[in-house]
Structure 1
Amino acid sequence: MEINVNELSHYYGPQKALDRLSFKVKTGEIMGFLGPNGAGKTTTMKAITGYLTPSDGDVMIDGISVSKHPETTKQTIGYLPENNPLYGDMPVIDYLVFAGQLQGLEGDKLKNRVHEMVKVCGLNAEKHKKIGELSKGYRQRVGLAQALIHDPEVLILDEPTTGLDPNQIIEIRELIKQIGKEKTVLLSSHILAEVEATCDRVLIVNKGKLVADGTPEELRQQAHGNEILHVSIAGNEDQNNVFKALQELPQVAVVDFRNDKKHGFEIQSKTGESSTKSIFDLCVKNGWYLTELTPFEKNLEDIFREVTREN
């Protein structure tokens, strides 16, 4: 099912949380939803699930308006809120039965779905324990199980790995990737490496507006612009001479010394040009040793900082 967020705006008193925000999440896509604190991520997710009515705009789930037909759209959505509210005194099995009944499941269908969720979410060893006795990782698994109990086609996950240790993060990440093969998933997280490893596409919002949209690879390519190379050259003790020689290469736009490496330079090529061959030829001509020549790739954290920083 496709999610279509159309011109969404929302106010908390005088504060504007969303500012005409629009985007689509395609069927069967895992979308990473990023932004600094206060950017409007949770407000957007609440609007998609029907938990919150936006001040303006609408959300369509498979062409059906969330604001006009909330009961219909909620049947297709599974939601794991950031704080994962659970009943700590209930055993896992009892809680999943309760969650299934709230979604209208009963009889053999309810029993089979509870059994399947225990298996899919890796809860078999803990299924008879009270939720309050579980580790944070297992409580997150229970939260995912309740979100999936009615077999929704859309899954909204707000910070699903918050507070987990690295091993638990990997386990939940793999579970989400497995689920995402069959569901449309919108995933919010502050762990950028997790988003890059899990998601097919990334949206970044800032101050309620969309500031970046694309696959991780597309965002890296857009951020790169001109070619940037990390170069290290040995064989000449006067690095100022090397610096000047690099500056004079016709394909080079900017040369900077690197603080992180002795005899290191960061070189930006001119638009549409590559400096790799001319740098190699320069070293051969002068008898210098080219010990490093690698393209510099920005990661998702670099891109996030660029598009969300204050002017």
Structure 2
Amino acid sequence: MSIKVDKLTKQYGTQKALHEVSFEIGDNRIVGFLGPNGAGKSTTMKILAGLLPPTSGQAFVQNLNVQQQSLAVKKLLGFLPENNPLYRDMYVREILLFEANTHKLKEKKGRVEEVIRQTGLQAEQHKKVSQLSKGYKQRVGLAMCIIHQPQVLILDEPTSGLDPNQILEIRALIKELGKERTVLVSTHIMQEVEAICDEVIILNKGVLQDHFTLQDMPVKYPGKSLEDIFVSLTNGAV
């Protein structure tokens, strides 16, 4: 299993952000992580990335315990948080080389060239990050995520705030990346899930509502669109 979450609970004071959430994701799958704002998606992703400790329960990436083997997990995982923190005064090539050095990669310059080509940054590689459009900043974030060739990607709303053309470009890139690795991607755009995902996980108020494949969806929810399913599961209807 690429990702396994077992009875994951996260509590802030009296508020439960997650309540005994469990799911498993196999290899080379693109999984849409859905839920209303405040459902617990970002909390789950931060726990999987080793940035936030759970109150109880366990998380595993490539069969490694995230809490007990955090450094080993980080070597296998690429994480793009919702706000995509980048060093704005660095040049594109410079920030990628910095990331390559952080991961102590061999053949650093060659790997930087490779991810620049893979993420379509050739024309922007000599610009400062602050000079880039939001779409290209997302590409830089994705390039940083994959530079160490992780087996698992966790992407928190990677197309948020992009224009329609940029959204299509990032979707195509994610779909390509998902051919060789597992991708867990959160989004509020149902068409995005239908376009690139193999499976769907839906959270609401910190509780897992369902986990199903898009292939099985017509049988499990006959006559319903993904939007219908999302609304019914997050509004309390059946």
* TM norm structure 1: 0.74
Quick one: which of 215, 225, 228 aligns to 1:299? 225
Deviation per CA, 1:242-298, whole angstroms, max 9, x where unpaired? Answer: xxxxxxxxxxxxxxxxxxxxxxxxxxxxxxxxxxxxxxxxxxxxxxxxxxxxxxx32
Q: Which residue of 2 aligns with 1:50?
A: 50
Quick one: which of 139, 153, 156 aligns to 1:155? 153
| Separation (CA, whole Å) in 2 of partners of 1:303 and 1:118 | 38
Deviation per CA, 1:32-83, whole angstroms, max 9, x where unpaired? Answer: 1000011000000001010111000111122211101101111000000000
Q: Which residue of 2 aligns with 1:59?
A: 59
Show structure 1 runs of 4+ deviating over 4 A. Answer: none
Task: State the one-letter code of the partner of 2:23.
Answer: F
**CA offset at residue 184 of structure 1?**
0.8
Deviation per CA, 1:9-37, whole angstroms, max 9, x where unpaired? Answer: 00111110000000011011111100001
| Separation (CA, whole Å) in 1 of partners of 2:93 and 2:23 | 37
**CA offset at residue 220 of structure 1?**
3.6
Task: State the one-letter code of the partner of 1:23.
Answer: F
| Separation (CA, whole Å) in 2 of partners of 1:129 and 1:69 | 37
| Separation (CA, whole Å) in 2 of partners of 1:55 and 1:2 | 22
| Separation (CA, whole Å) in 2 of partners of 1:19 and 1:220 | 28
SS class of match (2:162)? coil
1:92 aligns to 2:92 (yes or no): yes
**CA offset at residue 221 of structure 1?**
2.8
| Higher gyration radius (CA) | 1
Q: Which residue of 2 aligns with 1:221?
A: 219
The question of whether the paired residues in 2 share the 8 Å contact of 1:220 and 1:303 is answered with no
| Separation (CA, whole Å) in 1 of partners of 2:229 and 2:218 | 7
5+ residue gaps, structure 2: none
SS class of match (2:201)? strand
Q: Which residue of 2 aligns with 1:262?
A: none
**CA offset at residue 310 of structure 1?**
4.0
CA RMSD of aligned residues (A): 1.1
Task: State the one-letter code of the partner of 1:105.
Answer: L
| Separation (CA, whole Å) in 2 of partners of 1:10 and 1:124 | 41
SS class of match (1:186)? strand
| Separation (CA, whole Å) in 1 of partners of 2:63 and 2:78 | 18
The question of whether the paired residues in 1 share the 8 Å contact of 2:5 and 2:23 is answered with yes
The question of whether the paired residues in 1 share the 8 Å contact of 2:198 and 2:215 is answered with no
**CA offset at residue 215 of structure 1?**
1.5
5+ residue gaps, structure 1: 225-296
The question of whether the paired residues in 2 share the 8 Å contact of 1:155 and 1:183 is answered with yes
Q: Which residue of 1 aligns with 2:174?
A: 176
Task: Report the number of matched residues.
Answer: 237
SS class of match (1:307)? helix
Task: State the one-letter code of the partner of 2:167.
Answer: I
The question of whether the paired residues in 1 share the 8 Å contact of 2:79 and 2:153 is answered with yes
Report % sequence identity.
52
Task: State the one-letter code of the partner of 2:34.
Answer: L
| Separation (CA, whole Å) in 1 of partners of 2:150 and 2:215 | 29
**CA offset at residue 219 of structure 1?**
2.8
Query: Residues 269-308 of structure 1: matches in 2 within 5 Å?
Result: 297-308=223-234
| Separation (CA, whole Å) in 2 of partners of 1:195 and 1:12 | 30
**CA offset at residue 142 of structure 1?**
0.3
| Separation (CA, whole Å) in 2 of partners of 1:310 and 1:202 | 18
